[in-house]
Amino acid sequence: ASDVYALGIIYFFVLTGRLPYEGENLNQLMHTILHEPLPNVRQWCPELPLEMAECLSLLCSKSRQNRPQDAIAASLLLNSVLGESRDLEGLLREAFDDWSIASVSGEGVRYTVQMMLPRGRKQEVRVELLKQGNSERLVQIYSVCCPAQQNQFEYVLRLNAEIPHGGLAIKQIAGTPMFVMMDTYPWSTVDPEEIRRSALSVATRADGLEMRLTGRDTF
């Protein structure tokens, strides 16, 4: 735990260019470390994301119980913060920029990926960053299949058992219940390859269901 604390002090220095505690001699420095709170890092880094500030606070906590228990736990915490500090547009660019069958549009936390599929078919995939309350942020990847008809519920439910990742659901789109193929990932750990692979899988399965149920290529 002392090594984790030292890592926190280094992290503070990297962020601010200064050490959090000062003293004219060793005894004074030790007293300051033991009894003074960690300075507010936002004095020097006002634009620092909340997740990074909270991570620093945990690493530099004076209580061993509040700090990550070992280097592995500290690494997981830092990797989680790295994930939270990314932006969705950058991930999508990395996932699709060199892929000729996909084109991306949108901004902020909502994007659309137009996928070109075999036999001249196409499918629109939506990628959104969601956060509900204080829960972890999620990347939701989904594609509309067709309007949800009650007499098709059992058939669609049986198809769900064949899907290894993600699933079919009913989602309100512009006030209309629609069958959608959906996949979800934790924002802190999802990578471009997962997004790319999931978007292709979601598009292919959504298009397949649309073809089975309607014979069309609308969505």
Q: Which two tokens stand for residue 174?
A: 């512009």
pLDDT of res. 118? 94
Residue 164's alpha-carbon distances to 20, 61, 136, 160, 170, in angstroms, are 49, 42, 23, 9, 18
Q: Which two tokens stand for residue 30?
A: 């030790």
Q: Which two tokens stand for residue 178?
A: 């629609």
DSSP class of residue 151 equals G
Alpha-carbon Rg for the chain in angstroms: 24
Any idea of the CA torsion for 181, 187, 188, 193, to the nearest 10 degrees?
Answer: 60
What domains does the chain contain, in order, with CATH numbers? Answer: 2-84 (1.10.510.10), 88-214 (3.30.1460.10)
Backbone angles phi, psi at 175, to 5 degrees: 85, 0
Q: Which residues of the chain have pLDDT under 50?
A: none
Q: Count H helices, E strands: the chain?
A: 7, 6
Q: Which two tokens stand for residue 128?
A: 């959104």
- pLDDT per residue over 68-98, tens digit each? 888 888 888 887 777 666 789 989 999 999 8
- pLDDT per residue over 111-140, tens digit each? 999 999 999 999 999 999 997 665 678 999
Q: Are 136 and 187 in contact (CB under 8 A)?
A: yes
pLDDT of res. 46? 86
Q: Which two tokens stand for residue 144?
A: 């509309």
CA atoms of 147 and 41, how far apart (whole Å): 51
pLDDT of res. 69? 86
This prediction has a pTM of 0.67
Alpha helices (runs of H) in 124-183, residue ranges in sequence order: 153-160
Residue ranges with strand state E in 90-137: 102-107, 110-116, 122-130
